[in-house]
Structure 1
């Protein structure tokens, strides 16, 4: 079988899916990757069966991940994406029983994500017991946000006792992209001020000063901030009280509404930008309003971070929507020429899998499209151990 020495297996365990990628952390070369979906709904009953299916997929391609007894066939590590690290974890962490227990405990802060992340870790430890397992946390990049950005204005003792603060998410992507921006500009990361816009079905923005995150749009949970595919983003907290008191909705019903039935989906019935664009072209007013709300919220965060940073050297778009939706990029930054922000229409229309500039060369602020690569970032963090 084909040797896989020195590779890292990256696992991203969702509640009903398992994304995987085997890659060389030094070169970024992907050996193979894919996704197992609808776990528990099909003939794949659980994550253990899903991971065994992954091993079978590799074996069918002549790639030996294990000799059948849990002995690694050259894999350096398994890197796990974990969404919430709370106050406990702010760096890549080798997983032992205590770490796994803490990840489970933090499920109260990320009930949609951490339980599935922990299940994936448990299965990988069982099937590959001799391979070092490393957790890489979505919240880590934002762990040391300035106090003014991290603190909610609620009772201090309550917040401290229950770790209620703004944590931020998509941190692996924001850190990776911000480093790629500095490299693209040929400048030390410590000298670059930038705004990173991670726009996918989940969406977040960050202000990064000299390589350090100083603000971000998501908070205690991934619900705060930008309008997303199915999530509300920022709303008046009084709306939640109103839904419970006046409409009689339960906590679970409100959770379902805000996380899965809101955002673009709630406003227009579609959270795929291609489908949303088709509706707008057909004259659907709800779709047009949904798009306008999305752009309005995005521009508010760009404006806030321009003030927050004072000097901005670059604005980077990344993730599925950010990398592929040229109209979103153009509309998000339209009319900001007075701030040195200009999008060149011809450059913006070009599609590429490489980092690229979509602003004129002489524009004071470099506007870039930078493909994210969270798997590579996780692999490199895991390989350090």
Structure 2
């Protein structure tokens, strides 16, 4: 449901200065925007954009809905002074510049803390705010490679493969949004903001999860496992008569139920498949045997049969099939925006629904409105425009 005065969204009343570009930072801000925060996107004047592609193209539109926009040249002293007026009443500032840039522009945490000690300052970088790589620029694929993900993605022996989504950007943005919320919660008790940071590299190492703990605890360096689970068998992609399906039947109970549902209870007696460890050791032969059986029926038949037996399973969909899926439609993951759709939030909060309350702003669309709210006179705004410090 749209936000109303009687049912404000959870972050209504939180003011956010958005100095982000590309994807990781905007992903963090999108969470705040969708749930009611007043987002002021601050961009430099000119024709450029922080994304490769049209300002109102599918990428930018998906990331920058529910924001207002101002164009300020932070290299100009008067424009920077106007920006500092915005900082005085802001709750959160989010940026993903190279580490040294915010210091050069004098908008780093230490520059703004004296103006607004309640400000939660949130930063995403490629490799961290400090350390030997701190000044490097980073993008998603570089972090996928450096963070180990590409080494465990793809078919055995295929060589490194990037994941098909910008997983480091998205994960860093998601984690930063979580960190912002924790800092805001702490501010309720302390009255002071904190500097919240993450990086593409940190987010990638975090997302290695059990593959990382395998190495840290047992010294095991994971390799590529293709569509199979790295350690559990059978869990992977199998051919039905009409399309591919995923089947997860690796535990003792699920393996027993699967053999019964597949009409191959004799597999339960095979000595080489008695235990999970043995099934994984003999994975090629086991997977080939399962494939011979699954090819005998359609994906719909197998999904219905295995679901009845309590075995996790599902089709391998392309993106068009994803949005045609009745459960995805029920979950309303295609969010209406004007005459098109964008991807909805995956967070659900009782009593609230997200919506596109504002279309992505044109460059400087709300500059006058935002500056007037900050107490800057029309004459001062005109002077800023005259020197191309605001657009």
TM-score bracket relative to the smaller structure = under 0.3
**TM-score, length-scaled by structure 1:** 0.22
Give the structure with higher Rg (CA).
2
